[in-house]
Structures are given as C-alpha cells and as structure tokens.
Structure 1
C-alpha cells in the first residue's frame, strides 16, 4: 500500500529536482550572457579614468554606471551589475580584486531604508575573489558560478562574469551580473505549485486503490481500539485514586482549621479558669460548649476520612437535606469567633430577617464557611473587621439563588495568583502581603459548592478579599433541580 505512494513521491522529487537544476542552469546562462553584453558595451579606456571615489562625480563614471543601470533594468532577474579589476597593490594576488563601477545606492526592497546590501561599492573598494573560482578565471574567459554562494553583506548569489579587453586583447577588468537566490526561489515557486498540483491529482487516483486495502486492517484496528479502551480505563482508575488522595488532603486541611479553633478555645478556657473568681460561670460553660462543638466537628471530619477511604469512586457524596442556611452560618460564625477574638478581629454579620431554608449538605457547606472565615481572619490585621453577609437574589437565568459573602480588610489577593486561587496545592509566598496556605482549603470549597450546582469566586474589592458563594435556592436536591429547571422559591 505504501509502495505506490513511495514511487509517486520519488518520481515527483526527481521531477522537481530536474526542473530546479534546469532553471538554475538557465539563471547561470542569463547572468553570464548579461555580463558578456556589459563587457561588450564598455570602453576599456573609460576604466582607466576611474581610480578613486573622487572620480565618481565625473561624466565618465556616470556613463559607465548608466550602462550598468540599463542592463539591470532590462533583465528582471538581474539584481546587481558591476565592474571590477585586479588589484595593482604590491604583493596583490590574482584573487585580489577592487571595484571600479557599481550600481547606485537604491532601496531595492522598498522598506524605506538603504540596507548594507543596497549601498554602492566605491571605486577602489577591496574584494576577495578567492571563494569564487569562476570570477578569478573570468580574467581569461567568461563563466558563471557553479552553485549559489554567500556574498556578505549581499544575499546568497549566482553570478556570471566576462572579461573586458582593450584593443591589444589584454584584459583590464571583469564585468559581472548577479542573480539572488531569493529571486530564483520566487520563480521556482510556480514550478513547485505545478508539480505538487499534478502530484496531488495522481495521489488522489492512488487513494482509490488504497481503499481496497482497508479491509485488511480491520482486525488491527479492533485490537488498537481495545488497547485504547483499556488505556482509558487505566487512566480513569488513576484519576479516581488521585482524586481520593486529594480529597483526603483537603479533609486533613479542614481538620487543621478546626484544631486551630480548639486551640483558641482552650486558651480562653485556660485564662478563664485562672481568674475563675472574677469570671461568671455561664461564660465558662459557653466556652466549654464551643470547645465541645469544635471537637465534634473534628470527629465528623475524621468520619469523612473513613467514608472516603471506603469509597470506590473517590468523589464527594453529598447528603442534601432542608437546612436553614442562616442558622448554619450563625453556627459557623459563633465557632470562629474565639480565634477572631484572639487576633483582636471583630466579625460583623448581615442576615435577612427570616430563615433561609434550602436543600444543602449541612456538613459540606459549614466546612466551606469555616474555611472562608478562617482564611479571612488569618489574613486580616488586628482591630480590623470580617463581614459575613447572607442574601438572596436572581441569577442571569432569573433563578433564585442564595448569596453568601465573606469579606475582610486585609491585604487582598495578589494579582499573580488570582488565576490559580482555587487550584489544589496552590499557595502564595511568605511575605506579609501574600495569601498563604489557602490552596487546599479553597480547592475543597470550589469542589463542595460545585456539588451543590453553585459557584464560588473572588470579587474585586478596593481593599481586602471578598469571596462570594452562589447556591441554588431550592426545595429539593439541587442536582435534580439543575436537570429540571429553576426549582426555586416563589
């Protein structure tokens, strides 16, 4: 099956190579012919009058230059035309040449600048002809370069040469005409288009033959499909294992937050017991109650780890039930108030007057609120405020939603980490103005809120950080509501 294509490819490669060789030979003949014509038009005695750059202002130089210009303009491929002679300096070699006449400076590429390769070479400018045997031999007979050669600062060239002889038959100079590789390539482009177009037509004919061989590959294709399916299953298994590990890390992160709360309440309780005679017993009981609540939440998280370890899918398994979101947030605020007090930070709340009941997973949502509040406290200065707001609204689809906002007056989130804020394991640097150690917590928040078919995002704020949680306000399972429409409250 590959043999016909190989044969066709080889055929067109040889065809193009042959046509390219023929075209380059044609360019060599053109350059040589132009050089011979220039040499035939030049009066050798005029060259004796050109010695230095001062002679460029004379009529003789202008006449010689006009001759070069006329040949340059008459042949489209001729980029440069010039006259050189051998150097007469003491010790000069046969390969040491110098310019006599060159084309005037002009903006050939029309870029608004006279580039180095567009500058006129002044009479007497030295030129080393040793890389160009045809130029050295041109003192005796006309010829052309065998291949395209570099000629800095000019682009790669293919040049033709012809001797200029006096009445006695002695060579006094060499006329040259150059064709650039770029101009040759432009002409070859049309050749390539023709060759490859014809090749495409021929390849299309062979494609009909290839169809006959497709049936022989069916069995191999089936095996390949089975291998691909097996590979995908292995990848999904690896993803499930990775996700299970990530969730375990997130739960451990939450445990650390609640251990911070336990530590805060323990400190308060310790101070309270020291001054028991000056402290009301009810206050001590309340602190003890908050400590028990935090410990209970820590036990719940440990239970989550056990459930996760037994899970085969490695995904969160939320349990939705009707919950008063207002009461849930109040519980979280009360739980975090001790750590805020230790840091001399006040927590302000703004709730609707009545209850806000919706179908949510109580444990997941309270963990989200705890994470956001602890992050806000952690990155706030002393004597600042953390504001927690609960409200209801309509989204762009006119569906009822619950809005939970946690705002602080800290340093905010640096712009360079905003795009990665909710990615796993992401954290800022250790500077004061940076957000630190929030990667796993916010990654968990995003995962938990998305399980509720909601979203969490960072809102632009002139000061501090403002995190917003949007949840569907619904009477039934949000996963069912998402598939059936709004399902919101009237």
Structure 2
C-alpha cells in the first residue's frame, strides 16, 4: 500500500475569473484527492483568507479589478499569508516569467496547462508548504519549552541571590568569601541569560520598548568589564579597555540592555580566547559612512581562532552557534540578542577578522541618542 504524500488532505484555492479554467484544473487534479476551492475574483480570495488559509494558491494572471500580479504583491506583504506558496497561471507566455516571480509568485504555469506539469508543480509547492508547517510546529514546541524553562529559572535564581546576600553579612574566611563571590556571579549570569530570553521574546512579539536614560559611557564600560575580572584572571586573559580622547562623556539609551550587549560580547570573547592572550575593548566616536553623522562605536577584539567566512553571514541568527566547541557552553542566543538590542537603538553590529588572528565585533550606535561632551 502506497504511503500518502502528505500528512493530511491539502487544501488548494484556485482564483480565476473564468469557471472553465477551474474545470480544467479540477479534472487534472481530481485523482489526487486534494480539497479544491474556487473563487472568481482576487477580492473574494482576500475575504476567504481572513477565515481560512489554504496550503497552495493557483491564481490567474489576467483578471478584472485585481490581477494576479497585484494579488501576489499584496499577499506576500501580509505576514499571516506570505508563507502560502502561489503558482501563477497565465496565457502571456514565458516572457512574463520574471514579472510573475518579481510580484511574489513562487512558480509559473503557461496556458494551455499541461496535466503532467501541473501535477508535478503542485506536488512540489505542497511539499515546501508542509515542510514549512513541520518546521513551524517544531519551533513552537521549542519556544514553548524555552518559555517554561525560563519561567522555572526565576525562583532558583532569586533564592541563590538572596542566600548569597545573607551569607555575605556573616564573618567568613577569605576562601569562603571567594567561593561565595563565584556563586553570586554565576547566579547573576543565569539571571542575565533569563532576561535575554525574555527580552528577545518581547522583541519577536513586537512589544519591546526601550527604557532610555542618560548615563556615563566610561562607567557603563568599566562596571561591565569589572564583572569579568575574576573569570579573566582564572583563564589568564587580560581585558584592556581603551577610551578615545574625543569620546562624549554621556550617552542616552537603554543602559541595562546595552550592559547585556557588552556582557555577551565579552562572554563570547572569553570563551574563545586562548590562555595568556588579551581582549581589547575600544570605545570611540566615529563617523557614520552613510549619514556622515557622528556615532558611538564599541569594538571588542579577541585573538582566538576566528570565525570561518561561511559562518559570518548567519552568526547573528537565533540559536546559531556556528562550529560547536568542545567544553564550551553555547546557546546561540547571545549574538542574536546583541543584534536585536543594537538595531532597536537604530544602530548596527558587524563582524570582522582581527589581524593576524581573532575576531572583532563592532557596535555602532547613532548620534541621535548621544549627548554632547560635558566639560
């Protein structure tokens, strides 16, 4: 017995002002067992889409009021509909193939329709659609699990921080105090990671709001770097901070989020820095190459193994960890979080090779949030 091609019966919407064309398509696809629905105008199709999403749309290019090209353009601009594959059907010939694809159609069929070609292209588009559905369901399951774990992190982290604060009031030996300090830093690190997940979730949901405040740039950098001193010493790595002479004193932005950006970049640099090397943190004022305006630039340089060229294009994608490193914890969220925060400030983050070895992460924040230098 043959296995079905798809996990459920595909629903195909056919949009054409000529009923005879639907009859032809229905006859060609009848044996496949698809659920076919027919509408005579693009306007009615948009109304249907508000209530029910098909797995595939076959649309005629030449229709009154709204033609197939306009239909595709509008469809692909809608976030709720843009994932639905569209096959454009037209008698205009292959000369219009580029125009069909440019309008947003995913495939093209010329009239008169060939039965074998129609069936093959429909199967191809449906496979893509069902693969998309499977990936979407997998991502939703992963995101639900992440939300549950992040929520469950709250009580243990709060307990750890509270108990370390209570113990810190007692008379303890220097060795115990050092151990307590490590526990506190680990708990703060977990809290920061939890906050990263929550912030990223807000950004994806479109509800992230920056809480801007004016703060001293050097304090922002020095306070963040100070949290890494013990870890850097344990790895025999030196963190060197270099402030430019023309640096403004203050900056206006979401300080806690920008602290997390620098925190993530330093964490990343320390993970991949060999023993007895240096991490350089440069803070300067620079000129935006496009607008020509002055911007605040942060550069974090390490002398590790670097990032292969093939991974640079997607290193900022969520959950992308590039090449997995043995004995190094990697979630693939840190750099995606950095990009999200920097872009929310209207800035840019990019990566460049450090010569002769290593990686440089540049963060550029626009001048519209920077304040003039104070005397």
Relative to the length of structure 1, the TM-score reads 0.41
Alpha-carbon distance in 1 for matches of 2:204, 2:308: 38
Q: Which has the larger radius of gyration?
A: 1
Deviations 1:165-197 (A, max 9, x none): xxxxxxxxxxxxxxxxxxxxxxxxxxxxxxxxx
Deviations 1:130-157 (A, max 9, x none): xxxxxxxxxxxxxxxxxxxxxxxxxxxx
The match for 2:282 is: 389
Deviations 1:268-293 (A, max 9, x none): x9xxx9974xx8x9xx59x9678657
Q: Per the alignment, do residues 334 and 310 of structure 1 end up closer, same or farther by CA in structure 2, a change over 3 Å counting?
A: closer
Alpha-carbon distance in 2 for matches of 1:247, 1:471: 34
State the Cα distance separating 1:394 from its structure 2 match: 1.0
**Residues 1:224 and 2:45 aligned together:** yes
The match for 2:344 is: 451
The match for 2:264 is: 371
Q: Per the alignment, do residues 355 and 394 of structure 1 end up closer, same or farther by CA in structure 2, a change over 3 Å counting?
A: closer
Retained in 2: the 8 A contact 1:346–1:386? yes
Aligned residue for 1:401, secondary structure, equals strand
The match for 1:213 is: none
Q: Per the alignment, do residues 246 and 220 of structure 1 end up closer, same or farther by CA in structure 2, a change over 3 Å counting?
A: same
The match for 2:358 is: 464
Question: Which of 379, 399, 412 is 2:306 aligned to?
Answer: 412
Aligned residue for 2:270, secondary structure, equals helix
Alpha-carbon distance in 2 for matches of 1:423, 1:472: 23
Retained in 2: the 8 A contact 1:326–1:355? no
The match for 2:120 is: none
Aligned residue for 2:307, secondary structure, equals coil
Q: Per the alignment, do residues 248 and 298 of structure 1 end up closer, same or farther by CA in structure 2, a change over 3 Å counting?
A: same
The match for 2:228 is: 336
Alpha-carbon distance in 2 for matches of 1:224, 1:300: 47
What runs of 5+ residues in structure 2 fail to find an aligned partner?
A: 1-17, 24-37, 54-77, 84-132
Alpha-carbon distance in 2 for matches of 1:362, 1:412: 29
Retained in 2: the 8 A contact 1:386–1:407? yes
State the Cα distance separating 1:340 from its structure 2 match: 1.2
Retained in 2: the 8 A contact 1:429–1:436? no
Alpha-carbon distance in 2 for matches of 1:423, 1:312: 13
Relative to the length of structure 2, the TM-score reads 0.52
Retained in 2: the 8 A contact 1:358–1:473? no
**Structure with greater proportional helix content:** 1
Question: Which of 240, 246, 258 is 1:348 aligned to?
Answer: 240
Alpha-carbon distance in 1 for matches of 2:320, 2:308: 13
**Residues 1:323 and 2:215 aligned together:** yes
Alpha-carbon distance in 1 for matches of 2:333, 2:200: 17
State the Cα distance separating 1:316 from its structure 2 match: 2.8
State the Cα distance separating 1:296 from its structure 2 match: 5.2
The count of aligned residue pairs is 245
Alpha-carbon distance in 2 for matches of 1:247, 1:448: 23
Retained in 1: the 8 A contact 2:301–2:358? yes
Deviations 1:332-356 (A, max 9, x none): 1111122111111111110146663
Q: Per the alignment, do residues 465 and 304 of structure 1 end up closer, same or farther by CA in structure 2, a change over 3 Å counting?
A: closer
1:127-166 aligned within 5 A: none
The match for 2:205 is: 313
Q: Per the alignment, do residues 298 and 384 of structure 1 end up closer, same or farther by CA in structure 2, a change over 3 Å counting?
A: same
Alpha-carbon distance in 1 for matches of 2:345, 2:317: 18
Aligned residue for 2:295, secondary structure, equals strand
Aligned residue for 2:333, secondary structure, equals helix
